[in-house]
Amino acid sequence: MLIETHGADIYSAAEKAGIKENNIIDFSSNINPLGMPESVKVAAVNSIAYSDRYPDINSRELIRGISKFENVPESWIFAANGAAEAIYRIVFCLKPKKGLVTAPAFSEYENALNMIGAQVEYYNLREESDFKIQDDILEHINFDTDIVFICNPNNPTGQLTDMEMTEKVIDSCRQAGSAVAVDECFLDFVKNKEEYSSVKFLGKYDNLIVLKAFTKIYAIPGIRLGYCISSNEQIVEKLKMSGPPWNVSSIAQASGITALKEKDYIDRTVEYIIEQRKYLIKELNRLNIKTYNSCANYILFKIQYSLDLKDEMLKKGILIRSCSNYKNLGENYYRIAVKTSEQNQIIIKALKEVIGG
């Protein structure tokens, strides 16, 4: 049986459409449109020469780099084979009986909780409040809650949770004896990200774990690299012991060490995303498509018609993310990534042909 996933699966899409993967433009995964920095590519290729030995089991040089980058002690960091691995390790090592997730949100929190038989409670994000977390989330946090997952900015809505709200959640969780995992995998695409990041709360709250990814901002999803940070060193130690050793390959470690030096690349990316997101939203609205306020490198939208837009777009070699399987969204919701100017013009042209306008 093949694993089914809802985004980034150009391989299944290619099989279905009878075309080659390379001929599909993937708007279903949200990867930096500027691509992998050249320096990272070189580091990855050079690391092949010493891939005949095991990688550093402790990812020492990478952890030193992350520590400087995030301005946190090395002992607070756990390096993972992508942020997805970190999500599963968090669940495996904390063994929550009950977890609270927002809905709609990235499905792997729920999948990981389901895998260990934990009960999943949903905090419903409401369209009329722009899918923003409201104070009533605090009513869902009590002594039965073992972990809360917050995605900031949220996937698939692109909505940010402000610092005050996040701290209220972390503080309520501390009082209830629960952990909080704040997933900031897309925060690197946001302007003034420090204003929203929970990294500043580490040290103050030992129930907090912040999740980060290299995969999206440095465009290395195929290499796989992420990390999490917690000032609770017992959690960090448990994370290390909650899965197989050598989880981060030599190629991933070398790529990450080099990527952390690419500061200008992040600034350029943020500006590019703002400009291109504006273009896409304007054009989608011109087509009478309702868009939701996104601060990230992807856009959630809703069409007025009953039409399998994903299928129709695939016929044109474009893969988009249907959001029909997200709780609190439905058949007419879709998500697209903000890609290069040229690719964004291609998708708008294709949408015009499919929807009319």
Q: Which of 28, 59, 172, 215 binds ligand PLP (CB under 6 A)?
A: 215
When binding is defined by CB under 6 A, the residue of 17, 83, 90, 236 that contacts ligand PLP is: 83
Distances (CA, A) of 269 to 53, 218, 259: 35, 10, 14
The only residue of 27, 78, 106, 201 in contact with ligand PLP, by rule CB under 6 A: 106
Closer to ligand PLP by Cβ: residue 84 or 350 = 84
For CA atoms 35, 37, 41, 47, the dihedral sign is negative
Helix or strand run (H / E) with residue 100:
strand 98-103
Q: How many residues bind ligand PLP (CB under 6 A)?
A: 12
Structure tokens at 118: 């934990």
Binding of ligand PLP by 213 (CB under 6 A)? yes
Q: How far apart are CA 341 and CA 275, in angstroms?
A: 9
- Applying CB under 6 A, does 151 fall inside the site for ligand PLP? yes
221 near ligand PLP, rule: CB under 6 A: yes
Question: Cis peptide before 96, with omega less than 30 degrees from 0?
Answer: no
Q: Note whether 256 binds ligand PLP by CB under 6 A.
A: no
Closer CB to ligand PLP, residue 145 or residue 155? 155
Given the complex with ligand PLP, which of 150 and 348 has the nearer CB atom?
A: 150
Of 261, 255, 263, nearest to 43 by C-alpha is 255
Residue nearest to ligand PLP (CB): 82
Q: Which strands form 298-302's sheet, in the order they lie side by side?
A: 290-291, 298-302, 333-337, 321-322
Return the closest-CA partner of residue 283 out of 217, 343, 216. Answer: 343
Segment contacting ligand PLP by CB under 6 A, of 35-43, 81-89, 93-101, 286-294 = 81-89
Decide if residue 220 touches ligand PLP (CB under 6 A): no
List interacting residues with ligand PLP (CB under 6 A): 82-84, 106, 151, 155, 183, 185, 213, 215, 221, 226
